[in-house]
């Protein structure tokens, strides 16, 4: 019997290093808000494979 395949929706790339991140497991995230038009903003969730990658991307939090 073939093993079940994972949907591409269950994984995304780390925003810092590009490593695959399993969305069903705990991982650090950052929500970035940016302007789309003069009256609209959009929230984008960035996913990170580890706290170290998050720190490298943002710099250490005080």
Predicted confidence at residue 37, as pLDDT, reads 86
Q: How many domains does the chain have?
A: 1
Q: Pick the closest to residue 33 from 24, 43, 48, 45 (CA basis).
A: 43
Domain that holds residue 48: 8-58
**pTM greater than the 0.85 cutoff:** no
Whether 14 is in a domain gets the answer yes
Rounded to an integer, what distance in angstroms lies between the CA atom of residue 59 and that of residue 47? 16
Helix (H, G, I), strand (E, B) or coil at 55: helix
Q: What is the pLDDT of residues 5-33, one digit of tens each?
A: 555 579 999 999 999 999 999 999 999 99
Whether 2 is in a domain gets the answer no
Predicted confidence at residue 20, as pLDDT, reads 97
More confident residue, 61 or 41: 41
């Amino acid at each position: 019997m073939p093993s079940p395949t994972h949907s591409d929706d269950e994984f995304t790339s780390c925003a810092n290093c590009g490593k695959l991140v399993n969305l069903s497991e705990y991982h650090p995230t950052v929500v970035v808000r940016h302007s789309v038009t003069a009256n609209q903003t959009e929230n984008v969730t960035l996913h990170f494979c580890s706290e170290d990658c998050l720190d490298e991307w943002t710099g250490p939090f005080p």
